[in-house]
């Protein structure tokens, strides 16, 4: 029985790491957007909303000019700002020269970061419940898992603050 519980604990830990990496990637995107981004106007070719996803995902296909040639790219976002571009013809975008990164100017990844924190918290709660309800686990195991989550959150906040001070 302990093997099954251990495998669930490892699976929940991987779930929490997924939330951590989601937040880290969003910090990187924000850093690249603020430090190296170039704002320009783009023409909206297609606007679409995918409602069966939760949260709703908005897709905007834009055409912009970079290095003298026209390019067409897709911007996906789960934030609420793309709703206002349903009837618009142009949008302000941020491109990062030398990379394939392209963002809407209003994108801040707040909803995704909240979802990442929710994933970490949910995994912690379920792991603590599994350890608490399963016989044969010592309180040391619960303290060890709790310490791992605090370290994970600490490094997430520390790296985020480190990037904010660089800006």
What sign has the CA pseudo-torsion 155, 159, 162, 164? negative
Q: Which of 155, 149, 152 is nearest to 128 (CA)?
A: 149
CA atoms of 76 and 78, how far apart (whole Å): 7
User: Which pLDDT does position 44 carry in this prediction?
Assistant: 92
User: Which pLDDT does position 39 carry in this prediction?
Assistant: 92
Q: What is residue 94's three-state secondary structure? A: strand
Higher local confidence (pLDDT), 143 or 34: 34
pLDDT digits (tens, 9 = 90+) for 16-32: 888 888 888 888 888 88
Query: Residue 167's CB: how many other CB atoms inside 10 A?
Result: 8
pLDDT digits (tens, 9 = 90+) for 48-89: 988 887 778 899 999 998 888 899 999 988 888 888 888 889
Higher local confidence (pLDDT), 165 or 53: 53
Degrees to nearest 5, angle at CA 114 with 108 and 115: 110
pTM: 0.73
């Amino acid at each position: 029985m302990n093997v099954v519980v251990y495998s669930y604990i490892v699976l929940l830990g991987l779930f929490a790491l997924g939330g951590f990496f989601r937040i880290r990637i969003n910090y990187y995107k924000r850093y690249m957007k603020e430090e190296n981004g170039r704002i320009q106007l783009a023409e909206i070719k297609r606007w679409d909303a995918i409602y069966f996803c939760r949260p709703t995902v908005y897709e905007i296909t834009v055409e912009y000019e970079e290095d003298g040639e026209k390019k067409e790219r897709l911007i996906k976002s789960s934030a609420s700002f793309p709703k206002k571009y349903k009837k618009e013809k142009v949008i302000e975008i941020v491109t990062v020269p030398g990379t394939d990164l392209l963002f809407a100017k209003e994108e801040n990844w707040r909803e995704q970061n909240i979802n990442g924190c929710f994933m970490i918290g949910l995994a912690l709660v379920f792991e603590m419940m599994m350890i608490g309800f399963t016989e044969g686990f010592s309180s040391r195991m619960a303290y060890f898992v709790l310490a791992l989550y605090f370290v994970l959150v600490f490094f997430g906040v520390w790296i985020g603050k480190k990037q904010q001070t660089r800006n």
